[in-house]
A and B are shown apart, each in its own frame.
Chain A
Amino acid sequence: MKNSKTNHSIAMTVLKGRTFIVLVVLLIFFSFAAPNFLSENTFMLIAKHVALYGILAIGMTYVIITGGIDLSVGAVVGFTGMIAGGLIQEGLTLQIFGVTLYFSVPWIVLIVIVCGALIGWLNGIIITRFNVAPFIATLGMMYVARGFAMLRSNGATYSDITGKPALGNTGFDFFGSSIFGKIPVGVIILVVIALITAAILKETPFGWHVLSIGGNERAAKLSGVKVNRVKIIVYILSGVCAAIVGIITTSQLVAAHPATGESWEMNAIAAAVLGGTSMAGGVGTIGGTIVGAFVIGVINDGMVMCGVSEFWQMVIKGLVIVLAVIIDQFQRNLQAKIALQARNENK
């Protein structure tokens, strides 16, 4: 009895840290498989890529914890990127006054983030007020946002969006290419957002409310949690995260392409799920999601460096995700078993 209990708790520790273990194993594996893998440059590259899905995945984690899903984030990345690119390149033409306004970069960032928030707010309103399933509401929003991204330039790319000193809108490339010490700005933004959102989830009443809705929505309502308001805020957060990614990725590329971000929502969902977020809601942590995002980043870049074909990359990524969820189920069963055992011993 005693023995099986210790066995269980060892197994539990292993299972709980599974994503982290997978990450370490992957790092060891690729450092042998790809000769240049174990270097600072590689890590900075991976971190730069991870910053993108990581930030999306943070918003997604909040949404999934409430029991929802946000499929629109990839399209919002493209749409907000196009807004940023357009504002720099063409400005905002007000035909009634016959003027074209050019904004400085901080204003552009603010406008783009507000756009992301508005899209998230719309998602939230459609889901809570009109009772549309989150999957459908955000699927619709995905098409709408992607469509507007294309319409903005008729499908063309805004290239070389560095701005002109004469217009006072230079410096947009700051978010993509600047480096503090050795750390890219995107990574710093990821860390800041992760710290803030993790603190909100753990340390504020709002965080409790998010968890409560996913755990038992009816009970949350009966307890006096303002369920609809919390849900709307969560979708706004997801939209804002997508807008921030839109800014970073456009800045990294120094170009805004309307197809940017296609299927990134899937990477975000995968990172959240790998990090232990339950699709049924109620369970998830920001820390786990970040580890999940790194697993995906290491697989992506590691395989590229090993020369694995893009097609095999997809197969392997898919297998890793499904395997992670199978292990997750395994962990839940074990947890239930341990709880039952503890309960019987208490009696």
Chain B
Amino acid sequence: MNTNEKMEDAVCLRAENISKIYPGTVALDNVSFEVKTGRVNVLIGENGAGKSTLMKIIAGIEQPSSGKLFMGDQEVSFHDTTEARSHGIGIIHQELSLFPNLNVYQNIFMAREKTKGHFQLNNKQHAELTERILAKLEHPIPPETLVGNLRVGQQQMIEIARNLIQDDLKILIMDEPTSSLSAQEVDVLFKLMRELTEEGISIVYISHRLEEIMRIGDHVTILRDGKYVVDEEVSKIDVPWIVQHMVGTDKTYHKRERSIDWSKAETILEVKNLTLPKSGGGYLVNHVSFEVKKGEILGIYGLLGAGRTEIFECIMGLHPEHEGEIFLNGEPISVKSISEQIDRGFALVPEDRQREGLVQTLDIGKNISLSSLKNYVKGPFLDKQQENAHIDEVIKDIHIKVSDKKLPILSLSGGNQQKVVIGKGILTQPKILLLDEPSRGIDIGAKTEVFDIINQYASRGLSIVVISSELKEIIAIADRVIVLSNGKKTAELTGDDIKEDSLVLASYQGHHGH
């Protein structure tokens, strides 16, 4: 730590040795963090590094498993947001937490109502204060407007305004406040942040836009995998320094060697100008084109919300309103429903295994055969023998460690559950397998096995598209990687060009202005 820095003296809040353990994962591992008074304290890390968890603990939304918080010399602990707020801590959430059914001033003053005689709401005062605060934010929105009818950027401003009406605000936590703002709105926000810090309010700022951090940040702390990595004054660092510390150098996977001339391989899937509009304006997927060859593994890298999952959803027919063309084996297809897409040879392994991948009430075998049951129909009945034979084959093929396929699915470990979901996809005998974060939430051993399965099927000629947020992982497994940022394709890399820094830089590129 920099002890010779002159601004170093005043610390508004100190988090000491905070750990947060969720069943199965350690979100924060003994992290200490200081909020410096009147400065913009930036917190950086990859997805899942623990930034948001740490902020939720400071704002009273989550409670630490161990560790202490200090404000000044006094130890504090917050059981809910109201307690944190009474200590002057406000938070602007990453996902908007507004009431679409209520108007602007109701949203701003919710649970902080001004009343006449403790009972009757003073809506005139609400409207006046709202107008004043929105004028300060340079967003004169009529206070009576229904929030559900506002643009996302305007809604973000309301979210910010909610925190500013607090009289004794000491610390304002902003979790990616600019992700839905236009360049002009970002300028207003930054101006405001400077005004706040001049008033002595401390800001904790989380953002994925690195150039923004260089512009507004004063002090940077980097987290990786729930652990503290380093902290430094922004004036002493640059973007490559941040990337290097975010990525780290520890974990490595074995890079697989394949010498295939992909230009000669036949193209299985071609996507041209795929576009999916966002309901509040803008695009979730913005004119993305790519192709997948036979037996190729295509990686899709990008930050959370970059539009990765949405591409899969478009291809699988979950968004019939998408625009653009999709070609299968050179033939144009119109994607309307998910069952049609399964028939055409697409299989999806979804990101959220528990919610979208498994039927918890069915046994292991049934979970595997669920998508292909119609292949085993004999008259009105299921051909159990044939079904079981195929299930056994898949279990053996992808090494699911199970003594009896009639056991409940939840008796398996996370890694083996994931293999079941993959097995379900493979049993439909797909031509193209779409894997959304196949290694999320499983241990390192199981990860390697999942990668082996992916490689094994690719070498048999199956085309595979893999989404991953983990750099090392995608570098190890993919023959080619496309990078998405803010819905746009910002890079396409092959072979030795697939490097960590180029992937990270490309994943921030789509955020330049609008």
> A residues bordering B, Cβ < 8 Å?
203-205, 207-209, 211-212, 214-216, 218-225, 282-283, 339, 342-343
Contact = CB atoms under 8 A, between A and B. Distances in A.
A343 B113 contact: no
B147 to A, nearest CB: 9
Interface stretch (B98-106, B293-301, B388-396, B471-479): B98-106
B341 to A, nearest CB: 28
A223 B110 contact: yes
A339 B97 contact: no
B151 interface: yes
B399 interface: no
Q: B81, B93, B111, B115: which has the most chain A beta carbons within 10 Å?
A: B111
Contacts of B120: 203-204
A166 B25 CA distance: 74
Contact of A215 (B81, B100, B112, B113): B100
B101 A283 contact: yes
B219 interface: no
Given A208-B102, A208-B113, A224-B82, A343 B281 contact: yes
A225 B110 CA distance: 8
A219 B92 CA distance: 11
Contacts of A203: 120-121
Given A224-B85, A224-B111, A343-B151, A208 B101 contact: no
Interface string B62-89: 0000000000000000001110010000
A100 B150 CA distance: 65
Contacts of B113: 205, 208
A87 B101 CA distance: 45
A219 B162 CA distance: 12
Interface of A is mostly: helix
B151 A224 contact: no
A154 to B, nearest CB: 43
A200 to B, nearest CB: 9
B456 interface: no
A215 B99 contact: yes
Interface string B142-161: 00001011110000000000
21 contacts: A204-B119, A208-B106, A208-B110, A211-B101, A211-B102, A212-B99, A212-B106, A212-B110, A214-B101, A215-B100, A216-B97, A219-B97, A220-B99, A222-B97, A223-B110, A224-B80, A224-B81, A224-B85, A225-B110, A283-B101, A343-B150
A181 to B, nearest CB: 31
Interface in B84-142: 85, 93, 97-102, 106, 110-113, 115, 119-121
B169 interface: no
A282 B99 CA distance: 9
A222 B101 CA distance: 17
Contacts of B100: 215-216, 282
A211 B112 CA distance: 15
A232 to B, nearest CB: 17
A216 B98 CA distance: 7
A223 B111 contact: yes
B121 A215 contact: no
B179 to A, nearest CB: 18
A343 B106 CA distance: 21
A300 B150 CA distance: 42
B26 interface: no
Contacts of A282: 99-102
A212 B102 contact: yes
Contacts of A215: 99-102
Nearest to A211: B102
